[in-house]
């Protein structure tokens, strides 16, 4: 417990909140901590003194990460779903750390398909980095790349990017920096809503940025912090951040996991039989490498694993905020075999479908089909409650490539049929209920309706297992601008006519809250309600930068 005591003592100089000790498991030096609702530190109070502004003052925030322009202008493969920005994975205390990290990233591939990277700390204390554009298997397809990353500790990252220019290698994480206290690597899942204000201040003070990612701001804040030791510097930096962040840091001898005070994005901790500690965005990655789930990294908590003795200690960044877990993790992003925010994802989706059938039945329908893959469990729940037959009426082809690269609209339309193929024997002559997890732009839904009608469906009834999306996300999800959100532009009947179905219904926000019961207030549902827990901060003018451009 000496390491935990030292960590708690070290936090005093930066005004960190001390933690209450929970139960300790039977193995290792691991001690579980829970953050106490203590008085905020002066740094936290200073951070909160910024000037929040209403969303309409931020047209540049129409997309989740306006400063990280690395995506495809038209959304890449034309999929109508929003995209998770990234996933993180880390392991410490295992001789196969790099290979385990590679496998963990493979399991988190759905959270980011445009770039991947791994940073590993060797036995000599040197951190090495390998990263590239593409899928995890493409980036690390050559075993020699993993062979360059020896050591017993590693962190990894998969990412999507937002709209704008082509994907850029410079923004692929983890980021690795060297400063006066050594090397530091970081992997980040989330989005900082005060990024621009922080970057302006840092640049005015002489900082030079080499990427357009908000994650680089975190490294600059750590490097310029006057606190000691590293734990205090990281907490000092995080107290200045606003928004969503689940972070993994790697040094020569430590792995640190940090989660923002609201707990927007998931981050879990597990342990392998040999005592290795594992962190991941989802529990499915723990399952793959035979790691036992132990707990979430708590909102506002930093967990430190010292790989020299595998001791685990914890501190609190700031007092508790009201938990605001992203409900879209359950609706769409996470794999159904994951446990996220304490709930089995497949059970949540099944509950959405059952509630949807109670609210909006389709009495004339013959069969229920899901939009693969994320609509499966909601459609199953709809079938169970309605008594309608469940069938797999649409088959998703996962190897079709990006439809937007085709040379003409006619060819692009054929490419859509390659991606989603109707099962004619299930659909022909039937009144079909189609259950999807969400409806964002409406483009995919309209194509599905046409496919089903062309396949001989008598009627097509769309049922959406979430409320209408009317607001963009600020916390780490790539959503379209509000002008592109079909439910923000049209009423229910207008949306129905636009996608061409016979009837349309969404799960209501009240019903969604009912599913969660007493936990409903712990959800971030800003994309459905526009109730944003943390607003962007207006960047202060930087005269030095203005005069430089005027010259």
Taking the CA of residue 97 as centre, how many other CA atoms within 13 Å lie in the half-sphere pointing to its CB? 30
How many C-alpha atoms does 468 have within 13 Å on its Cβ side? 18
- 381 shares its domain with 292: no
Q: 539 lies in a domain?
A: no
Helix (H, G, I), strand (E, B) or coil at 221: helix
12: CB partners within 8 A, 6+ apart:
none
Q: What is the DSSP letter of 36?
A: -
For 23-72, the pLDDT digits (tens) are: 333 333 333 334 543 333 332 332 333 333 333 333 333 323 333 322 22
Q: Which of 323, 356, 385 is the last residue of a domain?
A: 323
Burial letters 252-285, b for 16+ CB under 10 A, else e: bbbbbbbbbbbbbbbbbbbbbeeebbbbbbbbbb
What DSSP string describes 323-378?
P-EETHIIIIIS-TT-EETTEEHHHHHHHHHHHHHHHS--TT--EEEE-TTTTHHH
Rounded-to-integer distance, Cα 277 and Cα 222, Å: 24
Nearest to 163 by CA among 87, 83, 242: 83
Spatial CA neighbour of 369 closest among 449, 487, 444 = 449
- H/E element, 462: strand 459-464
B/e letters for 186-195, b = 16+ CB within 10 Å, e = fewer, are: bbbbbbbbbb
What CATH number is given to the structural domain containing 435?
A: 3.40.50.2020
Annotation-wise, does 284 bind a ligand? Answer: no
Active site residue 86: yes
Same domain, 148 and 293: yes
In a domain, 181, yes or no: yes
CA contacts within 13 A on the Cβ side of 509: 13
Whole-model pTM above 0.75?
yes
Q: Are residues 311 and 439 in the same domain?
A: no
Residue 16 lies in a domain: no
Q: What is the pLDDT of residue 425?
A: 96
CA 468, chain centre distance (Å): 20
Give the pLDDT confidence score for residue 410 in this predicted structure. Answer: 65
Q: Are residues 364 and 510 in the same domain?
A: yes
Residue of 35, 86, 101, 501 marked catalytic: 86
- Answer yes or no: do 311 and 184 share one domain: yes
Q: Which residues of the chain have pLDDT under 50?
A: 1-34, 36-78, 162-166, 401-407, 545-551
> Is the dihedral angle over the CA atoms 458, 462, 463, 465 positive or is it negative?
positive
Domain check: are 227 and 190 in the same one? Answer: yes
316 is in an annotated binding site: no
Residue 235 is assigned to a ligand binding site: no
Residues 277 and 409 in one domain: no
Position 67 in a domain: no
One domain for residues 300 and 416: no
For residue 186, tell me if it sits in a domain: yes
**Domain count across the chain:** 2
**Phi, psi dihedrals of residue 261, rounded to the nearest 5°:** -65, -20
Q: What is the pLDDT of residue 411?
A: 64
- Give which of 421, 354, 420 is closest to 388, Cα–Cα: 354
Answer yes or no: is 128 within a domain. yes
524 is in an annotated binding site: yes
Q: Are residues 122 and 188 in the same domain?
A: yes
Residue 355 lies in a domain: yes
CA within 13 Å, CB half, 507: 29
pLDDT at 262: 95
Question: Does 354 lie in the same domain as 308?
Answer: no
Closest C-alpha to 505, from 323, 358, 296, 332: 358
Query: Is residue 29 domain-resident?
Result: no
Q: How far is CA 59 from the centre of its chain?
A: 22
Residue 137 shares a structural domain with residue 107 = yes
State which residues form the domain around 277.
81-323
Please indicate if the annotation marks 326 as binding a ligand: yes
CATH number at residue 300: 3.60.20.10
| pLDDT score of 541 | 61
Whether the Cβ atoms of residue 492 and residue 503 lie closer than 8 Å to each other: no
* HSE-CB for 260 with a 13 A CA cutoff: 28
Helix, coil or strand: residue 526: helix
**310 and 348: one domain?**
no
Enter the DSSP assignment of 438: -
CB-CB contact of 284 with 155 (8 Å): no
C-beta separation of 239 from 47 below 8 A: yes
């Amino acid at each position: 417990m000496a390491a935990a005591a030292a960590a708690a003592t070290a936090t005093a100089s930066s005004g960190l909140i001390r933690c209450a000790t929970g139960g300790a498991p039977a193995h290792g030096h691991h001690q579980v901590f829970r953050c106490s609702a203590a008085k905020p530190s002066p740094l936290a109070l200073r951070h909160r003194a910024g000037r929040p502004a209403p969303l309409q003052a931020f047209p540049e925030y129409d997309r989740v990460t306006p400063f990280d322009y690395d995506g495809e202008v038209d959304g890449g493969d034309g999929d109508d779903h929003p995209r998770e920005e990234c996933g993180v994975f880390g392991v410490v205390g295992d001789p196969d750390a790099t290979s385990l990290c590679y496998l963990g990233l493979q399991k988190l591939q759905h959270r980011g398909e445009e770039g991947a990277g791994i940073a590993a700390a060797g036995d000599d204390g040197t951190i090495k980095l390998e990263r590239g554009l593409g899928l995890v298997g493409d980036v690390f397809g050559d075993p020699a790349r993993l062979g360059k990353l020896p050591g017993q500790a590693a962190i990894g990252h998969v990412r999507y990017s937002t709209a704008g220019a082509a994907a850029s290698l410079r923004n692929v994480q983890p980021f690795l920096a060297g400063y006066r206290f050594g090397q530091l690597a970081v992997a980040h899942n989330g989005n900082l809503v005060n990024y621009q204000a922080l970057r302006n201040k840092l640049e005015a003070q002489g900082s030079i940025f080499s990427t357009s990612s908000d994650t680089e701001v975190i490294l600059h804040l750590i490097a310029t912090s006057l606190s000691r030791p590293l734990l205090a510097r990281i907490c000092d930096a995080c107290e200045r951040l606003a928004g969503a962040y689940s972070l993994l840091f790697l040094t020569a001898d430590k792995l640190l996991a940090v989660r923002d005070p609201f707990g927007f994005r998931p981050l879990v901790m597990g342990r392998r039989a040999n005592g290795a500690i594992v962190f991941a965005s989802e529990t499915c990655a723990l399952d793959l490498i035979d790691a036992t789930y132990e707990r979430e990294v708590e909102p506002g908590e930093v967990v430190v694993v010292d790989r020299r003795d595998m001791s685990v200690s914890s501190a609190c960044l700031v007092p508790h905020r009201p938990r605001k877990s992203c409900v879209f993790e359950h609706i769409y992003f996470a794999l159904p075999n994951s446990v996220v925010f304490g709930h089995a994802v497949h059970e949540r989706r099944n509950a959405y479908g059952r509630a949807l059938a109670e609210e909006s039945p389709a009495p004339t329908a013959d069969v229920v089909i899901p939009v693969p893959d994320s609509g499966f469990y909601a459609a199953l729940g709809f079938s169970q409650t309605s008594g309608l037959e469940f069938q797999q009426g649409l088959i998703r082809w996962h190897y079709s490539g990006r439809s937007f690269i085709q040379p003409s609209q006619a060819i692009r339309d054929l490419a859509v049929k390659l991606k989603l193929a109707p099962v004619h024997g299930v659909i022909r002559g039937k009144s079909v209920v189609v259950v999807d997890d969400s409806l964002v732009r409406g483009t995919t839904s309209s194509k599905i309706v046409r496919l089903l009608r062309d396949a001989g469906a008598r009627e097509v009834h769309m049922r959406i297992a979430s409320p209408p999306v009317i607001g963009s996300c600020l916390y780490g999800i790539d959503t379209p601008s509000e002008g592109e959100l079909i439910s923000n532009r049209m009423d229910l009947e207008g949306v129905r006519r636009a996608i061409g179905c016979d009837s349309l219904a969404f799960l209501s926000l009240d019903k969604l809250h009912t599913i969660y019961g007493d936990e409903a207030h712990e959800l971030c549902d800003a994309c459905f309600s526009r109730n944003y827990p943390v607003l962007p901060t207006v960047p202060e003018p930087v005269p030095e930068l203005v005069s430089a451009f005027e010259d």
